[in-house]
Amino acid sequence: MVGSFSVVKKSNNFLRKHRKWPLSSHKTKWHQTFDQDEALRILKQAANPDQPHLLLSALVTSFTAYSCHPTPNAYYFVLKTLARTSQFHHIPPVLHRLQFLENFQTPEYIFVDLIKLYGRMNRIQDAVTLFRRIPMFRCVPSTLSLNSLLSQLSRNAQGLPIIPDIILNSHSMGIRLEHSTFQILITALCKVNKVGHAMELFNYMITEGYGLNPQICSLILASLCQQKKSSGDVVLGFLEEMRQKGFCPAVVDYSNVIKFFVTRGMGSDAVDLLNKMKADGFKPDIVCYTMVLNGVIADGDYKMADELFDELLLFGLVPDIYTYNVYIHGLCKQGDSVAGLQMIPHMEALGCQPNVITYNVILKSLCKTGELDEARKLRSKMQLKGLAENLRTFRIMIDGLFHNGEVIEACVLLEEMLGSRFPPQISTFSEILSWLCKRHMVGKAVELLALMVGKNFSPGPKAWEILLLSSESELTSVKSLETTLKDLVGI
**pLDDT single digits (tens) 386-442:** 888 888 998 899 889 988 888 888 888 888 887 776 766 777 777 777 777 777 777
Q: Mean pLDDT across the stretch 37-58?
A: 88
Dihedral sign for Cα atoms in the order 386, 389, 393, 398? positive
**What percent of the chain is predicted at pLDDT more than 90?**
58
Tell me what pLDDT residue 473 has.
44
Count of residues making up the chain: 491
pLDDT of 241 > 60? The answer is yes
Judge whether 455 lies within some domain: yes
Task: Name the residue among 40, 109, 30, 108 with its Cα closest to residue 69.
Answer: 40
Give the pLDDT score at 463: 67
The terminus-to-terminus CA distance of the chain in angstroms comes to 129
Answer whether residue 24 shows pLDDT above 60. no
More confident residue, 308 or 9: 308
Identify the band that residue 358 occupies on the pLDDT scale cut at 50, 70 and 90.
very high
- Residue 147 placed within a domain: no
Mean pLDDT across the stretch 229-247?
90
**Alpha-carbon separation of residue 331 from 268, 300, 353 (angstroms):** 19, 11, 18
Range of the domain at 484: 389-491
Residue 24 placed within a domain: no
Position 411 in a domain: yes
In a domain, 399, yes or no: yes
Question: Do the beta carbons of residue 368 and residue 334 sit within 8 Å?
Answer: no
Residue 483 has a pLDDT of 53
DSSP tag of 159 = T
pLDDT band for position 226 (cuts 50, 70, 90): very high
What pLDDT digit, counting tens, does each position of 187-224 carry? 999 988 889 999 999 988 888 888 888 999 999 999 99
Residue 8, pLDDT score: 42
Query: Does 309 reside within a domain?
Result: no
Please tell me the total count of domains within the chain: 1
pLDDT at 152 over 90: yes
Span 302-323, average pLDDT: 94
Residue 468 lies in a domain: yes
Whole-prediction pTM value? 0.74
More confident residue, 47 or 149: 149
Contact present, 146 and 134 (Cβ < 8 Å): no
φ, ψ for residue 19 (rounded to 5)? -125, 140
* pLDDT tens digits, one per residue of 71-112: 999 999 999 999 988 899 999 999 999 999 999 999 999 999
Mean pLDDT of 148-156: 92
pLDDT at 432: 76
Query: How far is CA 124 from each of CA 163, 332, 395, rounded to the nearest angstrom?
Result: 11, 57, 53
What is the SS3 assignment for 419-483?
HCCCCCCHHHHHHHHHHHHHCCCHHHHHHHHHHHHHCCCCCCHHHHHHHHCCCHHHCCCHHHHHH
Greater pLDDT, 439 or 275: 275
Q: What is the pLDDT of residue 487?
A: 54
Residue 485 belongs to some domain of the structure: yes
Mean pLDDT value across the chain: 86
Write the CA distances from 397 to 333, 361, 431, integer angstroms.
18, 11, 14
d(CA 380, CA 375): 9
Mean pLDDT of all residues in 147-167: 90
Q: Are the CB atoms for 184 and 201 separated by under 8 Å?
A: no
Residue 63 pLDDT more than 80? yes
pLDDT at site 34 = 92
Name the band, by pLDDT with cuts 50, 70 and 90, for residue 148.
very high
Looking at residue 438, what is its pLDDT? 73
